[in-house]
Amino acid sequence: MLILSSKKVTLRKPDIGDLNRLKRWADDPFLDKMVNSELLYSFRYRYKDKKKFIEDLNGDTTQLAMMIEANSNLGYTIGLVRLFDINLLHGYAFLETIVGDKRYRLKGWGEEASRLLIHHGMQTLGLRRVEAKVFEYNKPSINSLLKNGFKLEGVLRQTFACDGKYWDILVFGIIGPELEEQRSKLAFFDAAFKNSEDVKDTL
Amino acid sequence: MGIEAKLSDGRVELLLKGEFGPDDLAEFNKLINDSISLGKKQLLIDLKRVDRLTLHGLAFLSRWAMEVRRQDGLIGLVNLKPEVRRALVESKLLSLFKIIGSKKQMKNGAQ
């Protein structure tokens, strides 16, 4: 069982107890507009057998999806964070963060969960680059990425159609040395990875 | 503990077992560095006790392979089960290793 912890959040693998909340998030038009998650789309439309969705998600060797629990609220599950399209040969992956419970948005929960998973990806999976794409109107996600040390690397102009208009997609990235810089600024990382024995998996 | 190691002429032989964690990675890295300092740049990993590879298992193998290659060495994999081979193919990591069907084949000079 893979579990990652920091002072504020705990990340754990999804299980069948998450099906109802995943359904709620997949049906949420606000999340669809802000994140347009391929994962939630797949959950909603591609899988009739939702238990199979969880099995496939946890067995997928190209992604690492983790549910976000708020430590201050007895482990209440507030969202999902994942590294996907993981390429171990070249050492890169893409990041997606979804804070499904609206009471926990704009308060730094997604930011800390992302930081924790990215660090795990770099430390344990050997990733040296993480990339994230965000719609230009999603200011909270942009701020969160910048706070986590991501750099704006490019703009995919007028790519996404929403509310009768085409919007730009911003491409952010972070590479190994920049993450180390973040680590030295934040005591958070030291606290987060003391429990390396909690990280177990089956080869 | 997921690793059993055996030193032989010019080579380190490893047998991998079920459970793996970050501590194993550190241990393996030390083993690689020690072996290389002794002039042993070939590693043979026996996967006969491994039924499938998870994301973390693949990540460890690829990091080991990269580390050994950086030192001009090579990792050979022996006794791959179909699911293990499939995972290596799908993750495009197969080319990092020298694949050997069995230890018997290896002794007969198979590549």
CB contact under 8 A, B22 and A199: yes
**CB proximity under 8 Å: B 40-79 to A:** 50, 52-60, 62-63, 66
Residue B102 pLDDT: 64
Which segment of A109-113, B35-39, B67-71 scores lowest on mean pLDDT? B35-39
H or E stretch at A3: strand A3-5
Give per-residue pLDDT as tens, B76-106.
899 899 988 999 998 989 999 999 876 666 5
Report the pLDDT averaged over residues A61-75: 92
The beta-carbon neighbor of A61 closest among B19, B55, B66 is B55
pLDDT at position A200 is 41
Q: CB–CB of A202 and B54 under 8 A? A: yes
- pLDDT tens-digit readout, A77-88: 999 999 999 999
pLDDT number for residue B57: 85
pLDDT higher than threshold 50 for residue B63: yes
Q: Return the higher-pLDDT residue of A47 and A180.
A: A47
Instruction: Tell me which residue of A46, A45, A80, A44 sits closest to A63, measured CA to CA.
Output: A80
Whether the CB-CB separation of A99 and A61 falls below 8 Å is answered with no
Which residues in chain B are contacts of A86 at CB distance < 8 A?
55
Which amino acid would we find at residue B18? G
Among A12, A41, A6, which residue's Cα sits nearest to residue A111?
A: A6
Closest chain B CA to residue A61: B55
The number of C-beta contacts closer than 8 angstroms across A and B is 73
B30 at interface of A, judged by CB pairs closer than 8 A: no
Name chain B contacts of A1, Cβ cutoff 8 Å: none
ipTM for the assembly: 0.78
In the structure, what pLDDT confidence band is assigned to residue B2 with cuts at 50, 70 and 90? Answer: low
Q: How far apart are CA A98 and CA A28, in angstroms?
A: 12
Helix axes B55-70, B82-90, angle to 10 degrees: 70
> Among A89, A201, A203, whose Cβ lies nearest the Cβ of B16?
A203
Q: How close is the nearest chain B Cα to the Cα of A44, in Å?
A: 25
CA A71 to chain centre: 17
Task: Tell me how far the alpha carbon of residue B56 is from its chain's centroid.
Answer: 14
Q: Which residues of A touch B59 (CB under 8 A)?
A: 88, 124-126
How confident is the prediction for chain A on average, in pLDDT? Answer: 89
| Lowest mean pLDDT, pick from A35-39, A168-172, B94-98 | B94-98
Q: For residue A63, which amino acid is it? A: Q
Q: CA-nearest residue of chain B to A196?
A: B22
What pLDDT was estimated at residue B7? 64
Counting Cβ atoms within 10 Å, is residue B40 exposed (0-12), middle (13-18) or buried (19+)? middle
**Are B19 and A202 inside 8 Å of each other by CB?**
yes
Question: What separation in angstroms does the CA of A154 have from each of A40, A97, A134?
Answer: 26, 20, 11
Judged against a pLDDT cut of 90, whether residue A155 lies above it is answered with: yes
Whole-number pLDDT of residue B105? 61
